[in-house]
Amino acid sequence: MKFRNLGKSNLPVSEVGLGCNNFGMLIDLEESRKVIHKAIDLGITLFDTADIYGNRGGSETILGRVLGTRRKDIILATKVGKPMDDAGKMKGASRSYILSEVEASLRRLQTDWIDLYQIHEPDPLTPIEETLRALDDLVRQGKVRYLGCSNFSAQNVAEACQLSGELKISGFVSCQDQYNLLVRSIEQELLPAMESHKLGLLPFFPLAGGMLTGKYKRSEEPAKGTRFAAWKDLARRYDTEANWNTVERLDRLCAERGYSILEVAFGWLLSKPVVASVIAGATKPEQVDMNVRAADCRMSPEDITAIESRLDEC
C-alpha cells in the first residue's frame, strides 16, 4: 500500500480508503467485521464514515464495536450535517449542533478523537464563520485533528478557506466529492479551487456504484445484494445510455491494453495529484482485496492519455 498526504496537512492516508456506508445498511455487524479486518490487514488506513450512515448511527456504532485496539492503526474520518431525524431538526452546521453531534459520534465510535471531521454539506442557515469557529474549537480541544468538507461548491470552498486564513483558525484540508470516469463535473470549477487552496480530494463513488467493476450489464436487472438492487435512486442516476456508451468504450480500451475496468477506474483517479485517497465501499472481504490489487496496478502516462481520449469521445 502506498500513502499520500491529505492536502496541505501532515496526515498520510492510504491510496485506497474504505467507505463505510454499507455497514449497518447492506451488511450486518459480523459481515462488517470481516471487511474491516481485511482492510486493515491489507494496509488500508483511511476509514470514512458519517453519522447518518447505517440508518443514522449504525456505521459508526459498528466501527466502534469492531475496531478495539486496532483503532490506533487507522485514520478515522466521519461527517456531520445531514438529517439525523425524520423531522429534520437534527442537522446542519451550527455551533450548537456540531458540538452536540461530535460527542454522539465519539460515543458511537468508542474513541477519544476523530482524525478527519467533515461537514457533509453546506448549511445555508448558518454563517460559515460560526461553523469554522466551532470546528476550530474541536481541534484545540483535541477531539478532532483535521477538518474537511463534502459537497461544497467551488465558491463555498474558496470562501471557507479565505475566512479561516484571515481568522488564523483551523481550516479545511480536504474535500470529499463525487468523481469518477462517468461523473467529472467537479473538473470545471471545484478542482481548480481545491488546487488553488492546496486541498486534497477524497473522491466518493469512484466505481460509479459498481458500473466500473463489470458487475452490471446493459439492459439486465442488477443482481440481488448489489447497490443498484438496493438503492434504486443510485441505479437510475447511473443507468443511462450515455454512461453505458462510455463503459463500452472503456471496455474496448481495457481489451486493447490488458487492464480490467476496475484497474482503469482506480488508475485514472490516482493519476491525479489532487487525489489523496480513493474511497471505495465493500460488502465482502474479497472486494477489498480486489480494490487494493487494482489500485496497485500503475498505469503509464500513455495509458492515462488513452483513457482521457476515450472519455473525450463521449
State the DSSP H helix or E strand holding residue 114, giving kind and residue range, or none if neither: strand 114-119
Give which of 160, 144, 46, 47 is closest to 102, Cα–Cα. 144
Give which of 13, 4, 3 is closest to 115, Cα–Cα. 13
DSSP label at residue 283: S
With the C-alpha atoms ordered 179, 145, 3, 196, is the resulting torsion angle positive or negative?
Answer: positive
At 21, the amino acid letter reads N
DSSP label at residue 199: P
Neighbouring-strand partners of residue 175:
149, 201
Neighbouring-strand partners of residue 148:
118, 174
216: annotated active-site residue = no
Look up residue 69 and give its three cell numbers.
485496539
Give which of 127, 120, 80 is closest to 99, Cα–Cα. 80
Choice among 53, 97, 117, 146 that is catalytic: 53
DSSP label at residue 182: S
Look up residue 193 and give its three cell numbers.
479551487
State the DSSP H helix or E strand holding residue 278, giving kind and residue range, or none if neither: strand 278-281
- Residues identified as active-site: 53
